[in-house]
């Protein structure tokens, strides 16, 4: 079973931010991928390898990272090295592909709206098909030819298809890492709409883990209420 070893590389996203991104691209995201963003918002899967048939027989490739959804107000973000791809905003990947479709792949015959969800670190994208007969499917987009190759019928199915590496010549990520359960818990809180600071209890630290008495607490000024959600237990939007 695949796990996300490095979730929330740029922090969590919200329903409102995902909705804003959907409006930006003019398409609704497939339910499984939308849920992935709300819970993990990018990251690196373990295991991370898959088989690709681009017409030369099956070859192994890997998922370097999935892109996180970030505030559209960030605008264009330039990537200086491979590691910066892990926090590269999803809307920048979308913009990059739209530019390539117009200037590089005009003759490739791509007639489906594709959203780049991640990369193998070699400039190739894993894309979700946003509408049409294959809506929801995941395809591999070859950056050199502009050709697409099917990977799975859905984003969840693509994750489920990932396997352990057999090749040993990758430039990065040779050793699997243990999943960070701390960030997994934060992702679950974000998905449920609970306040990340207090875990949905609405209580200040002095009540949750401190002396149990808010008297003299500088965090809540003696109220006993979480200073982030003001005691509601709900995430601020």
What confidence category does residue 176 fall into, taking pLDDT thresholds of 50, 70 and 90?
A: very low
Lowest mean per-residue pLDDT among 46-60, 95-109, 141-155, 199-213: 199-213
Cβ(183)–Cβ(191) below 8 Å: no
Give the pTM. Answer: 0.72
The mean pLDDT value for 216-237 works out to 73
The mean pLDDT value for 155-180 works out to 77
Cβ(194)–Cβ(235) below 8 Å: yes
| Residue 188 pLDDT greater than 60, yes or no | no
| Residue 160 pLDDT greater than 50, yes or no | yes
The mean pLDDT value for 137-166 works out to 95
* Domain boundaries for CATH 3.40.1580.10 within the chain: 3-182
For domain 3-182, the question of CATH label 3.40.630.30 is answered with no
Q: What is the pLDDT of residue 110?
A: 86
The CA distance from 102 to 128, in Å, is 19
Reported as type and span, the H/E element at residue 129 is: strand 125-129
Q: What is the percentage of the chain residues whose pLDDT exceeds 70?
A: 82
Question: How far is Cα of residue 58 from the mean position of the Cα atoms in its chain?
Answer: 27
């Amino acid at each position: 079973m695949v796990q996300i070893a490095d979730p929330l590389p740029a922090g969590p996203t919200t329903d409102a931010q995902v909705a804003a991104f959907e409006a930006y691209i003019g398409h609704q995201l497939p339910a499984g991928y939308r849920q992935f963003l709300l819970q993990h918002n990018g990251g690196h899967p373990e295991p991370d390898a898959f088989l690709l048939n681009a017409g030369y027989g099956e070859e192994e490739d890997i998922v370097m990272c999935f892109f996180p959804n970030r505030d559209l107000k960030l605008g264009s973000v330039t990537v200086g090295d491979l590691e910066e791809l892990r926090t590269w905003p999803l809307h920048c990947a979308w913009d990059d592909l739209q530019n390539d479709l117009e200037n590089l792949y005009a003759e490739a015959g791509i007639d489906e709206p594709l959203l780049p969800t991640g990369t193998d670190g070699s400039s190739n994208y894993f894309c979700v098909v946003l509408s049409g007969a294959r809506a929801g499917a995941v395809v591999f987009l070859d950056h050199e030819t502009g050709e697409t190759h099917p990977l799975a019928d859905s984003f969840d199915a693509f994750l489920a298809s990932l396997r352990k590496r057999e090749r040993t010549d990758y430039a990065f990520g040779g050793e699997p890492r243990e999943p960070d359960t701390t960030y997994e818990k934060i992702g679950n809180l974000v998905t449920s709409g609970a306040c990340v600071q207090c875990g949905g209890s609405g209580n200040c630290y002095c009540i949750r883990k401190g002396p149990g008495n808010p008297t003299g607490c500088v965090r809540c000024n003696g109220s006993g209420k979480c200073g982030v959600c003001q005691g509601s237990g709900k995430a601020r939007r």
